[in-house]
Amino acid sequence: MVCLKQVKMMCLNHNFNSRVVELMYNQLIKELKATFYEELDGQSTGIIYGSAAIGDWVSARSDLDVIVLIESMALIDKVSTQFKKWKSSHSHELLDGFLLIKDGSHLTAKSFYNFDSSPKSLSEAILTPDIWKIKNESKVLFGSANIKSMVRSVDSVEMRKWAKENKKQFWIPSIKNSIAQISLLPQDKLLPLNPAIWIASGAARIKTLEMTGSCMSKQDALSWLIKKGEGPVDLIKMLLENYKISDSAAPKMSKVDAGLIAKHALSIIEE
């Protein structure tokens, strides 16, 4: 049996070709089931959603978006222990998503990103696009509870409204801060591609979500920017061409080029 560590060694300084991505993905799914189902004696249900569910997941470029449902408050400490074990052994696979706690008819959620926080209602804890993805872009990993039926439906009007607000509250300030941070770097500083991919694809995704009410993958978002034919197209092509290559093997980006991409991303969402 190929373990995750062996698969990662195959990837080191190499392209994440489809076979390697598939091996990594399948091994991670096995480990998720072992961690959050078998170690909980089968007292849970789990789904993946987003990029991991639609074939767009790439190690170190994508989060693992997971929902784990338990139907007993007594299991919270066990889940917490398992979550800590996962974090300590999977430094490159960021587990995102939520623990859902069903206590009778009462349903609350804890974010894996901020797991030490108190449980909140689903509307407080889970962002609108994530609710849409759970409902429309998810796959069952283990267990028998119908998680999809526990979340509400979201239409395109609500998605567009959310995107418009999130653009102002999060993306514009975040990209402006990135531009400021890049300007402070030494002139000869070389940067990994992941931050530029995050900024460029994020700006395109929030812009297209605001326009259409539809979610877009990171790779599709980069392709959308290229098709627009505006700004530093060659640099964005380079990001897309190296999307499935680890940052340890991909070319680095200059401070100037990183600044150009960030400024272009800002112009896209301020249109």
pLDDT digits (tens, 9 = 90+) for 166-193: 999 999 999 999 999 999 999 999 999 9
The CATH fold of domain 4-150: Beta Polymerase; domain 2 (3.30.460)
> Taking residues 254-268, what's their average pLDDT?
98
Distances (CA, A) of 109 to 31, 43, 95, 115, 186: 22, 17, 15, 10, 43
Q: Which residue from 59, 68, 48, 78 is spatially nearest to 15, judged by alpha carbons?
A: 59
Greater model confidence, 219 or 88: 219
- Burial label, 236 (beta-carbon count in 10 A; 0-12, 13-18, 19+): buried
pLDDT band of 264, cuts 50, 70, 90: very high
Pairing mode, strands 45-49 and 138-142: antiparallel
Q: Looking at residue 4, what is its pLDDT? A: 43
List, in sequence order, the alpha helices (H) in 137-232.
156-166, 172-183, 194-212, 218-228
pLDDT at 15 over 60: no
What are the tens digits of pLDDT across the range 142-152?
999 999 999 99
Nearest Cα residue to 51 out of 205, 195, 199: 205
**1: pLDDT strictly greater than 60:** no
Task: Name the amino acid, one letter, at 244.
Answer: K
Structure tokens of 143?
A: 């267990």
Kindly list the domain boundaries of the chain, sorted by start residue.
4-150, 156-269
Phi, psi of 96 (to 5 degrees): -115, 170
What mean pLDDT comes out for the span 243-260?
92
* C-alpha of 148 from chain center: 19
